[in-house]
């Protein structure tokens, strides 16, 4: 099936640093979704992107829908301890299978106080 | 806050037992999904539904079955649990084909001993 590749797989940063992560695909996506998952909980939707080139913010989080429609980026500014968790990108692949959401492997964020 | 609920949150059960994981949403969403996730790993789609009386297999083969008799309810059943079924099971729903933002329940952590 169609896959989303996230990088980096894990990040270890100091509190207050900015964070950047990305998600790429070999095929075109019309929607990009970014989720955060805390241990033992379900993923929570952070940002949804629907248009190529779109840049959307949610507090300290900013995400962009790549122009090629094959990638997306998530940035977190001035990280705080509660940002710790796993961040997933997701989207419905175009064409056959457009009814379902596929997820990337996740980026695990660890913050040293 | 999403109105999607999963029960039980945790389940420890013996090999060979039949189990049903419950998922209900009060948002009137047509689309519902079941994902399987090992701790800290990516989410794998095992079942999805477009609406009442519609169910489809996901990308990851699963011995579980689902039903969608009512819009709000999407239970998952394992006829005979095995230790290989130990995992976290996440249920999600989304409004329509145009709005693909999916909202997740808190998950059921299943352990088969």
What is the residue-level pLDDT of chain B in tens, covering all 113 positions?
A: 569 999 999 999 999 999 999 999 999 999 999 999 998 898 999 999 989 999 999 888 889 999 999 999 999 999 999 999 999 999 999 987 666 789 999 999 999 99
A47 close to B (CB below 8 A): no
**Taking a contact as any Cβ pair under 8 Å apart, which residues of chain B between 19 and 58 contact chain A?**
31, 33, 35, 40-43, 45, 48, 50, 56, 58
A28 close to B (CB below 8 A): no
Answer yes or no: do B33 and A101 touch at CB < 8 A. Answer: yes
pLDDT digits (tens, 9 = 90+) for A55-70: 999 999 999 999 999 9
Per-residue confidence (pLDDT) for residue B58, from 0 to 100 = 87
Contacts of B103 in chain A (CB under 8 A): 45
Mean pLDDT of A65-91: 96
Tell me how crowded residue A59 is: count the other CB atoms within 10 A of its CB: 9
CA angle B42, B45, B48 (to 5 degrees): 155
pLDDT digits (tens, 9 = 90+) for B10-24: 999 999 999 999 999
Please name the residue of chain B whose CA is at the shortest distance from the CA of residue A85.
Answer: B40
Chain centroid to CA A5: 10
Answer yes or no: do A40 and B109 touch at CB < 8 A. Answer: yes
Answer yes or no: do A101 and B97 touch at CB < 8 A. Answer: no
- The Cα B66–Cα A73 span in angstroms is 35
- The Cα B87–Cα B103 span in angstroms is 20
Strand partners, A8: none
A104 close to B (CB below 8 A): yes
Residue A98's pLDDT band (cuts 50, 70, 90): low
Per-residue confidence (pLDDT) for residue A97, from 0 to 100 = 55
Per-residue confidence (pLDDT) for residue A111, from 0 to 100 = 93
Answer yes or no: do A101 and B90 touch at CB < 8 A. Answer: no
Residue A99's pLDDT band (cuts 50, 70, 90): low
Q: What is the DSSP letter of B54?
A: -
Please name the residue of chain A whose CA is at the shortest distance from the CA of residue B95.
Answer: A99
- The Cα B65–Cα A48 span in angstroms is 30
Q: Above 80 in pLDDT, residue A32?
A: yes
């Amino acid at each position: 099936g169609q896959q989303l590749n996230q990088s980096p797989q894990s990040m270890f940063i100091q509190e207050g640093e900015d964070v950047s992560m990305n998600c790429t695909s070999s095929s075109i996506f019309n929607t990009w979704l970014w989720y955060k998952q805390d241990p033992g909980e379900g993923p929570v939707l952070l940002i949804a992107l629907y248009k190529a080139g779109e840049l959307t913010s949610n507090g300290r989080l900013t995400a962009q829908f790549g122009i090629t429609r094959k990638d997306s980026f998530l940035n977190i500014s001035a990280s705080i301890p509660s940002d710790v968790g796993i961040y997933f990108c997701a989207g419905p692949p175009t064409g056959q299978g457009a009814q379902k959401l596929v997820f990337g492997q996740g980026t695990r964020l660890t913050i040293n106080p | 806050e999403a109105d999607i609920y999963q029960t039980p949150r945790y389940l420890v059960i013996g090999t060979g037992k039949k189990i049903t994981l419950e998922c209900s949403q009060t948002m009137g969403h047509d689309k519902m999904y079941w994902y399987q996730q090992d701790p800290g790993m990516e989410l794998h789609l095992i079942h999805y539904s477009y609406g009442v009386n519609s169910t489809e297999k996901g990308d990851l083969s699963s011995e579980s079955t689902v039903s969608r008799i009512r819009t709000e309810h999407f239970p998952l059943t394992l006829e005979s649990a095995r230790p290989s079924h130990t995992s976290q099971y996440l249920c999600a729903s989304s409004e329509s084909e145009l709005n693909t933002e999916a909202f997740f329940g808190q998950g059921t952590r299943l352990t088969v001993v």
